[in-house]
Chain A
């Protein structure tokens, strides 16, 4: 049984996207991450910044968390749940 309405609608959209074979990012329940080499990362669906330094940027992306580590990391923009990170990205960890 679904615990609340939101969870129920999320699950429905997941089932729908799976059946129709369309990307899950359309339902906006999943974060979308785009990388340009290791110098730029675009994250859509960011719920908040958990940790911010020039060698580590830790973001909340809903169900998961993502940690970018590297050197000279800078948040280029943060607006409307979209974050652009630039710098020398060395590792990306999900937890």
Chain B
């Protein structure tokens, strides 16, 4: 645990070294500097060295002391320091038996949160005791819980756990090959018609309403018999679409008027509050935000959380004309993107109407889009 560097001088240095060897005293780094011997020996060895020194007429002096026993002896009067040191060593030894970080790798569709929640239920979480984790059992159970995975492994190295997953590649959906017709999914005028399979029922340029038959899956043969096929084709039509958006000039808004908050300390799975927090208001909304320490891209199980209640008050706000129009137009644009985003627009007319209470936006569009919709033919056996 500790060793001593000593000096020996004044006598027969060679005899001294030989006597030490005979008395089974281990010496190392023996240097002869200007007739003075500098060497290292153990504490036990130094106690035995006196006899060799006496017989070789050497004077031995301690030069330096190294190691924990000397350090402890030096600080034996400082009880607080020793208690702190012991406490520190205990904390270190305790923390080294726990999981600090958990990383999930290899997942694309299954989220980290989903994986971590399942593992948490199985006892693998930040702060969990490593010795209590049965890796094989956890892997087996986690895989059955997370059904979308083809392979899963839990690797614990030191205090860091890594969950490696491989997701299943689902087999592609094969389109049913039952006989069907093609009908119009939206009313309009047909501008392009290509039939790949089936019997055409409409002409190019004809107007169709929603649900009208365009390509039939029932094919009549020359001998009068008929057979059922799966109709297939491309039907492009010119359609008229209308979008409207209404925005009231009076809106109801929630505004936070009061907030009660407190901080919580997170330490290896423990989560305890630092202050008192109470709430009597039923309408208060609870919130909690966690902040963890990050070390080299790893989230540590140490941090703090801020939680509290926000009390809101609801009241009406009267919007100015231009603000009302702006909100209405913003919502109208969103709606247009959602409904007509994938459709070619040939012409559009947008009208904005404003009155005392509200703002209306109406858009009339001439579009060019595919209106073919497959409709299965049910055959009674």
**Closest beta carbon of chain B to A62's beta carbon, Å:** 14
Is residue A23 within 8 Å, beta carbon to beta carbon, of the partner chain?
no
Chain A proximity mask over B326-356: 1 for CB below 8 Å, otherwise 0: 0000000000000000000000000000000
**B1-37 CB contacts (< 8 Å) to partner A:** 13-14, 17-18, 20-21, 24, 26-33
Are B28 and A76 neighbours in the complex by a CB distance under 8 Å?
yes
Contact of A54 with B33 at beta-carbon distance under 8 Å, contacts A49-B17, A78-B17, A78-B21 already known: yes
Contact of B14 among A49, A54, A76, A79 (CB under 8 A): A49
Are A74 and B31 neighbours in the complex by a CB distance under 8 Å?
yes
When chains A and B are docked, how far (Å) is the Cα of A51 from the Cα of B13? 8
Chain A residue with Cβ nearest B25:
A79
Chain B residue with Cβ nearest A60:
B18
Chain A residue with Cβ nearest B34:
A54
Are B32 and A53 neighbours in the complex by a CB distance under 8 Å?
yes
**A19-70 CB contacts (< 8 Å) to partner B:** 48-54
Residues of B close to A53: CB separation below 8 A: 32
When chains A and B are docked, how far (Å) is the Cα of A52 from the Cα of B24? 19
When chains A and B are docked, how far (Å) is the Cα of A48 from the Cα of B22? 9
Interface size classification for chain B: 10 to 19
Residues of B close to A51: CB separation below 8 A: 14
Are A49 and B18 neighbours in the complex by a CB distance under 8 Å?
yes
Are A74 and B30 neighbours in the complex by a CB distance under 8 Å?
yes
Interface size for A (C-beta < 8 A) is 15
When chains A and B are docked, how far (Å) is the Cα of A71 from the Cα of B26? 24
Are A77 and B17 neighbours in the complex by a CB distance under 8 Å?
no
When chains A and B are docked, how far (Å) is the Cα of A50 from the Cα of B21? 13
**Closest beta carbon of chain B to A72's beta carbon, Å:** 9
**Closest beta carbon of chain A to B242's beta carbon, Å:** 94
Residues of A close to B21: CB separation below 8 A: 48, 78-81
Contact of A78 with B27 at beta-carbon distance under 8 Å, contacts A49-B17, A51-B14, A52-B13 already known: yes
**Closest beta carbon of chain B to A87's beta carbon, Å:** 10
When chains A and B are docked, how far (Å) is the Cα of A54 from the Cα of B37? 10
When chains A and B are docked, how far (Å) is the Cα of A79 from the Cα of B26? 6
**Closest beta carbon of chain B to A58's beta carbon, Å:** 8
Are A78 and B14 neighbours in the complex by a CB distance under 8 Å?
no
When chains A and B are docked, how far (Å) is the Cα of A34 from the Cα of B13? 25
Residues of A close to B13: CB separation below 8 A: 52
Contact of A52 among B20, B28, B29, B32 (CB under 8 A): B32
Contact of A78 among B30, B31, B32 (CB under 8 A): B30
Residues of A close to B26: CB separation below 8 A: 77, 79
Are A48 and B18 neighbours in the complex by a CB distance under 8 Å?
yes
Are A54 and B17 neighbours in the complex by a CB distance under 8 Å?
no
Are A76 and B17 neighbours in the complex by a CB distance under 8 Å?
no
When chains A and B are docked, how far (Å) is the Cα of A51 from the Cα of B31? 13
**Closest beta carbon of chain A to B113's beta carbon, Å:** 59
When chains A and B are docked, how far (Å) is the Cα of A54 from the Cα of B34? 9
Residues of B close to A52: CB separation below 8 A: 13-14, 17, 30, 32
When chains A and B are docked, how far (Å) is the Cα of A48 from the Cα of B21? 8
Are B20 and A54 neighbours in the complex by a CB distance under 8 Å?
no
Contact of A54 among B24, B27, B28, B31 (CB under 8 A): B31
When chains A and B are docked, how far (Å) is the Cα of A49 from the Cα of B14? 5
Chain B residue with Cβ nearest A46:
B21
Are B20 and A74 neighbours in the complex by a CB distance under 8 Å?
no
Are B29 and A78 neighbours in the complex by a CB distance under 8 Å?
no
Are A75 and B18 neighbours in the complex by a CB distance under 8 Å?
no
Known: A48-B14, A77-B28. 5 other contacts (CB 8 A): A52-B14, A52-B17, A76-B28, A79-B24, A79-B26
7 residue pairs A–B, Cβ–Cβ below 8 Å: A49-B17, A51-B14, A76-B29, A77-B26, A79-B26, A80-B21, A81-B21
Residues of A within 8 A of B (CB): 48-54, 74-81
Q: Which 8 A-B pairs have the closest CB atoms?
A: A75-B30, A48-B18, A77-B28, A49-B14, A49-B17, A79-B26, A52-B14, A74-B31
